[in-house]
Structure 1
Amino acid sequence: MKRILSIVLSICMIVSVSVSVSVLSPKKAFACSCGEPSVEERFEHSSIVFTGTLVSKDRDGGNIFSLAKVWKGNFEDGYVYSGFFGMCGTEFEVGKTYLVYTENLKGKESTGLCSGNKLISEASKDIQALDRLTEPSWKNNYLLILLFLFVFAAAFSIIIWRAKSRFKK
């Protein structure tokens, strides 16, 4: 009986140690695991942000886009390096339109799996945020501008009225 109890306790001990080790051991991290930064953070860290339709791609991970709108950066040639899909690259499809965030790496505009690229059909919230981020600052202060114009018009009217009153005397 003692022998059976000893075997059962040994098995329980082995199982509990195995479970503890598997639960408490660090999880595997993949090289392409991405956080979820906000649109503002992505915009801040990108050199170019644009929407465009993929026209062609090459075997070296390069992509040529026909640009629709650029929110940030000077981007004329439409070439973006996206690497290879198996190595944290981004797989773009010819003919589809995307929102693309790039950064300049070694003189080449590059993007990847964690850059925040999206099909245009899935990017409406991002596009609204980008429009707000790049809106001219005077648009945010239109009430202040209207108030200034009103005060200016009132002051000008008073000056004209006083000038006319002096000439009538």
Structure 2
Amino acid sequence: MKRLVWFALILLLVGLGYTVFPGEKAYACSCVESNAQEKLKTSTAVFTGKVVKRGGVQIFSTDRVRAYTFEVDTAWKGVSSKRMTVMGNDAGSESCGIQLDKNQSYLIFAYQNKMDDKLHTNLCSGNVSIDQAGDSLKLLGAGKVVSQDDFEETDQGRSWSFYLIIYGGVILLLVLVSGWIWRRKKRA
């Protein structure tokens, strides 16, 4: 009888544990089907390019993201430089994540993220390796071949805060040097 009471008590505690401390909910990635022309309309930037740099994983909000830098070949929309950086969701495919390989070429559909003002992409964006992009490229039509001459020097990747720090440091240095010179003149 004592064993039965202990067994019932343990069973009750385990059951209570599952109701009080439920596990995290898991959501599978579910993408809306659309063709390349529809994705062109809804994307901020669409281009083909080769991954020349694969950054480290960063935590952004609740997502894991990785910066991919592309050498752009052909553009259809939103390309501002020969080199474009796109943040990719680095979670597994079950969470709509993608992993792009360095030195491989892709057709990229990216959107502007309102939280960090950068281009982002994920599994549902419609990215595909250039080897598998034949049908999508036909639907997109002729894009513009991109060369370095198409763009002036850009400061891509540098925000206003970068310049604020640099200029602030220069101004602080000038104030300190001026104060030092003024004190030396005053003593003499």
State the TM-score, normalized to the length of structure 2.
Answer: 0.52
From the two aligned structures, give the one with the greater helix fraction.
Answer: 1
Q: Name 1:131's counterpart in structure 2.
A: 141
Provide the identity percentage. Answer: 32
Q: Match for residue 90 of structure 2? A: 84
Long gaps (5+) in structure 1:
1-28, 136-169
Deviations along 1:42-71, whole A, 9 cap, x unmatched?
Answer: 111001000000011111310000110011
Which residue is 1:14 aligned to? none
C-alpha deviation, 1:32, in angstroms = 1.4
**Which protein shows a greater Rg?**
1
Aligned length: 107
Q: Counterpart in 2 of 1:151?
A: none
User: Which amino acid in structure 2 is aligned with residue 94 of structure 1?
Assistant: K
Alignment-derived partner of residue 68 in structure 2: 63
1:116 paired residue number:
126
The alignment status of 1:73 with 2:70, answered yes or no, reads: no
Paired residue secondary structure (2:47): strand
How far, CA to CA, are the matches of 1:56 and 1:85 in structure 2? 18
- State how far apart, in whole Å, the 2-side matches of 1:74 and 1:66 are: 11
Structure 2 residue matching 1:34: 3-state secondary structure:
coil
Residue 34 of structure 1 aligns with which residue?
A: 31
TM-score where L is the length of structure 1: 0.58
The CA RMSD over aligned residues, in Å, is 2.2
Moved more, 85-94 or 63-72: 85-94
Structure with the largest fraction of strand: 2
